[in-house]
A and B are shown apart, each in its own frame.
Chain A
């Protein structure tokens, strides 16, 4: 059977399994844990579109997450229907992306990275100045975890599916061409700016939406909290650890991050970030392909041992 079909079937089974999870799992804490995984998965996958596939290290992803959650929360708390507020969050994030995209992409390579970091910090500080207060959900009594769970699940599925469709399209190939060599891509008639803007826009859209889901999920939180830089750094590390520029990488990275966090919280406290940071450094230095590459290498080793002297056809 074709590899693609196996992947598709496994994905569908995984989604069905996750969709049925609340029926089986009655513990809220477990559901919350899965929600956390789904949130990070969406955020890391959305970062990956620009950071992984297009090669533009975006250190300001928190800005899109933040503005999405802020927009959704403010509209929703003031009585707008949730679905509209939610979509508005995504669209405002896209608007921000397009607004800052053209000047930001004048910066190349590492300047783009520190430029986006500065932009996100500007928004973070400004949001903290304007909205220093806690936001409370007035409809606390009717709070129900299940619709939140399905919102996060749906969003993760849509984000990953869209990433897959995008990177396998003509646009996706263009994005990867820009990553491999901007000047070479330009010389072949691929507009680097257009592809970068598209990647940034889509990346921001999903980050904004998951920000909106965050606003819907939390009963009370500081309105400026989603702007804080860890919403950039954690998903970025997840994408790297799983493997940037792959669909499965951010998925593995986010599951791994939350599991590690849980395991270590029971034992020693904040050590998960120390371990995660160490792993991130090791991956950047020695295994730029992330855990996905480790898996590939291990698999090649095994298949080669099974068939000594033969070339593995699927690898050729």
Chain B
């Protein structure tokens, strides 16, 4: 009993790190641009397919294809920003969020059906030669793929933080997040910052897609489920709060594994959504966010 509880706890944390990575891109985009890109799950899916085809056709190891998938999604993100999202930049914040939400819904319908046309509705996954490797500490199993997700999530979180804190471009992004008007008066090109943030957020979705493919499976209709998870994580961690995404991911992972353990694994996702609603209603600033004035 105790051992299986421990196993559940560890699994919850490992899955939670993956959820954090899935939400990282969404949170970056929302924080900087106030675009609510609910097509995020579809971007994750495209990242997954990039890695799936690289593995199936060219034999590229999924972890090696991280840069490929990230680049691919970076370009898709830049394209989507240029074609669609850039048109909403000038709107006031409230209608910007609403319009991008609607536009992203349209996009998710388009991307989902494009994927369906190109790659059929089949569920796909990747099994590498080392997929079943696991090590055991104190009778708790640590599957290597899940641990790798944790490592990748943490690496990308730290890299993103370093980029935002230490580089000039990163500082420009943060300045724009805080006050785009002031930033633009200081000579920061807002459109460039938005473009870069959106493309980076999409690239992060691409990376997350790889980990989803190796740990679960991918199919064209998967988007909404992952978008919901990313939204839950983002709200738990505080809107646009980047380190909060990982914390939110861990909380969601633990909530799900606790639900599997005490109730039924069928209600895992329901528990996450209920938690989401409770936080939205009672603590809209997120569990750790400061109350806005």
Contact = CB atoms under 8 A, between A and B. Distances in A.
Contacts of B228: 117-118, 121
Interface stretch (B101-109, B159-167, B198-206): B101-109
A296 to B, nearest CB: 21
A285 B105 contact: no
A112 to B, nearest CB: 9
Interface stretch (B64-72, B113-121, B140-148, B178-186): B113-121
Nearest to A116: B277
A125 B106 contact: no
B274 A110 contact: no
A194 B98 CA distance: 23
B84 interface: yes
12 contacts: A106-B281, A110-B98, A113-B101, A115-B280, A119-B277, A125-B270, A125-B273, A129-B266, A274-B113, A284-B99, A284-B103, A285-B99
Interface of A: 57, 103, 106-107, 109-111, 113-115, 117-119, 121-122, 125-126, 129, 229, 233, 236-237, 240, 269-271, 273-274, 276-278, 280-281, 284-286
B277 A118 contact: yes
A271 B107 contact: no
Interface in B90-132: 94, 97-99, 101-103, 105-107, 109-110, 112-114, 116-117
Given A103-B277, A121-B273, A122-B270, 11 more contacts: A113-B101, A118-B232, A118-B276, A129-B266, A237-B105, A271-B113, A271-B117, A276-B109, A280-B109, A281-B103, A285-B103
Contact of A109 (B38, B84, B98, B102): B98
B106 A277 contact: yes
Interface of B: 36, 38, 84, 87-88, 94, 97-99, 101-103, 105-107, 109-110, 112-114, 116-117, 224, 228, 231-232, 266-267, 269-270, 273-274, 276-277, 280-281, 284
Contact of A285 (B88, B101, B109, B280): B88
A314 B267 CA distance: 58
A237 B113 CA distance: 15
Contacts of B284: 107, 111
Contacts of A125: 266-267, 269-270, 273
Nearest to B232: A118
Contacts of A276: 109
A270 B113 contact: yes
A240 B270 contact: no
Residue in B99, B106, B270, B277 whose Cβ sees the most chain A Cβ within 10 Å? B106
Given A57-B101, A274-B114, A284 B281 contact: no
